[in-house]
């Protein structure tokens, strides 16, 4: 899959890979070592001169301030250079190439032409199609482990990085976590060692108004640094990953900064630049950029350093609802903040902990929970094992509950089936619903049926247009409730198919030739 790039109208999110927009911030800072600029004030009736030596500050009766030319370098040298010199060497440019197969005929997906001419006809021969994406990354380990965005490298067949000093190295994907939109890469060249790294900070210590720097490779012109402030924290309405909980910063946004570093005034990493709002069809900046907090990046980094190929997130086992003012009053809350428990999975961690429907979660391990997205993010940053302490409001009273941090059973190979028969479903791998899988799709815990979890490249199912995430409900009038139902009916020979499936929350009917 190529790098995701979204250009939209006002209040629309654009990814920061090539063809989208980057995250750069703007601002000014006065370093601690900089001296004050001497100024002198005189009555308005007399000419203003600069006495020697000039006082640091002199206040005249008029209250007006007159300024003089600075006499020392420290009086004018307000610079981010010391921070940049420390951090910039650890920020890399990422070049990802993806090769996919593209058919040469416009009739390649038409079942009639496939049946008449045969799948091996020259009409249906495919040719490679190459696409490239541009992004940035951050070296977090001297051995060459790099963090970047998943949407920069997902599906790439060749990835290379260029360091600030000009060295170029090939890399491999160690971990690609689409849910967090983060990926870990590792330099494969054994000559690369003792590389510059960036130190992690604690994104929970950030405050609105803090100064930050963004470093990346906009438009592929080379490494660029911009400055700005933290405009907002815990932004949850930005649907660019499963865990939307972003640092917002004012930014001059340009393509190529995805995966780059957002650092504080101590030169520590506080976020991974990822997305923007844009009112321009070209993805231009309107000063609203978003970065994934470093707390989530640390989870991905730890998993990659431990040699894991995926991040295991804790399973909650309950559906949550956002509060409004009326609900808050009915639940005896002062303000509409928190996550309301509306449904529990039987045997899930939430039910095991003692949570009940109607409970409002307002805190997890000392961190305030404003809405369900905030809770999802906080829970996702926890390591599996142990417990998390929840503060809930039940019937107006506050109480503490220990939630066991257990892995999700959403991916269960024993409940999967792959269609190998020469039918329109050939190449589909589907999984039967479990409560954990239903939670991922925001469905009722007792949902029956199968969901498409994988489609083989070049398969008939891919050419027909099935997508990962499609929920198969019925085939030729036969309800699909289990993986065995799907395996049996999807393998049958049929001249035509009537398919009922759910996609993006909508139920669809399709008629396809066999």
Which residues form the catalytic set? 151, 181, 258
CA atoms of 166 and 157, how far apart (whole Å): 23
Q: 344 — phi, psi (to 5°)?
A: -120, 140
Residue 408's CB: how many other CB atoms inside 10 A?
A: 21
Contact 278, 7 (CB under 8 A): yes
CA atoms of 320 and 361, how far apart (whole Å): 9
Q: Annotate 291-300 with b (16+ C-beta within 10 A) or e (fewer).
A: bbbbbbbbbb
> 């428990």: which residue's tokens?
341
> 């994988």: which residue's tokens?
454
Contact 239, 12 (CB under 8 A): no
CA atoms of 26 and 38, how far apart (whole Å): 26
Residue 175's CB: how many other CB atoms inside 10 A?
A: 23
CA atoms of 292 and 272, how far apart (whole Å): 5
- The secondary element (H helix, E strand) that includes residue 94 is strand 91-103
CA atoms of 92 and 97, how far apart (whole Å): 16
Contact 475, 506 (CB under 8 A): no
Query: Number of C-alpha atoms within 13 angstroms, CB side, residue 118?
Result: 3
Contact 352, 314 (CB under 8 A): no
């Amino acid at each position: 899959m190529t790098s995701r790039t979204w250009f939209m109208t006002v209040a629309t999110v654009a990814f920061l890979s090539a063809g989208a927009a980057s995250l750069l911030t703007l601002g000014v800072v006065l370093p601690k070592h900089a001296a004050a600029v001497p100024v002198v004030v005189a009555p308005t009736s007399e000419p203003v001169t600069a006495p020697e030596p000039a006082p640091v500050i002199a206040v005249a009766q008029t209250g007006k301030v007159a300024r003089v030319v600075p006499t020392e370098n420290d009086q004018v040298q307000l610079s981010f250079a010391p921070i940049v010199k420390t951090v910039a060497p650890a920020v890399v440019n990422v070049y990802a190439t993806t090769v996919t197969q593209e058919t040469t005929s416009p009739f390649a997906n038409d079942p009639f032409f496939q049946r008449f001419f045969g799948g091996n006809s020259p009409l249906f021969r495919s040719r490679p199609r190459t696409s490239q994406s541009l992004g940035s990354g951050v070296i977090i380990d001297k051995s060459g482990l790099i963090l970047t965005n998943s949407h920069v490298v997902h599906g790439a067949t060749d990835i290379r990085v260029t360091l600030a000093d000009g060295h170029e190295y090939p890399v491999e994907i160690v971990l690609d976590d689409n849910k967090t939109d983060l990926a870990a890469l590792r330099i494969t060249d054994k000559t690369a060692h003792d590389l510059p790294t960036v130190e992690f900070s604690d994104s929970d210590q950030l405050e609105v108004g803090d100064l930050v720097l963004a470093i990346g490779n906009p438009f592929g012109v080379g490494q660029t640094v911009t400055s700005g402030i933290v405009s907002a924290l815990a932004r949850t309405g930005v649907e660019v990953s499963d865990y939307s909980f972003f640092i917002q910063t004012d930014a001059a946004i340009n393509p190529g900064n995805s995966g780059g570093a957002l650092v504080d005034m101590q030169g520590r990493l506080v976020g991974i630049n990822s997305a923007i709002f844009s009112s321009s069809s070209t993805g231009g900046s309107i000063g609203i950029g978003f970065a994934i907090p470093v707390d989530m990046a640390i989870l991905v980094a730890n998993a990659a350093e431990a040699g894991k190929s995926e991040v295991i997130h804790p399973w909650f086992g309950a559906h949550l609802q956002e509060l409004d003012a009326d609900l808050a009053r009915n639940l005896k809350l002062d303000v509409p903040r928190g996550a309301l428990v509306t449904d529990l999975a039987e045997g899930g961690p939430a039910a095991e902990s003692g949570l009940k429907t109607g409970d409002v979660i307002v805190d997890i391990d000392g961190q305030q929970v404003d809405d369900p997205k905030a809770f999802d993010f906080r829970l996702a940053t926890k390591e599996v094992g142990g417990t998390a302490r929840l503060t809930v409001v039940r019937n107006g009273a506050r109480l503490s509950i220990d939630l066991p941090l257990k892995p999700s059973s959403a991916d269960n190979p024993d409940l999967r089936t792959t269609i190998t028969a020469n039918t329109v479903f050939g190449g589909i791998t589907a999984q039967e619903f479990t409560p954990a899988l239903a939670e991922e799709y925001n469905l009722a815990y007792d949902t029956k049926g199968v969901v498409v979890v994988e489609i083989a490249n070049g398969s008939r199912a891919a050419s027909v247009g099935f997508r990962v995430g499609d929920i198969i409900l019925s085939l030729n009038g036969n309800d699909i409730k289990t993986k065995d139902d799907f395996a049996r009916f999807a393998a049958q020979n049929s001249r035509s198919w009537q398919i009922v499936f759910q996609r993006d929350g909508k139920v669809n009917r399709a008629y396809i030739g066999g």
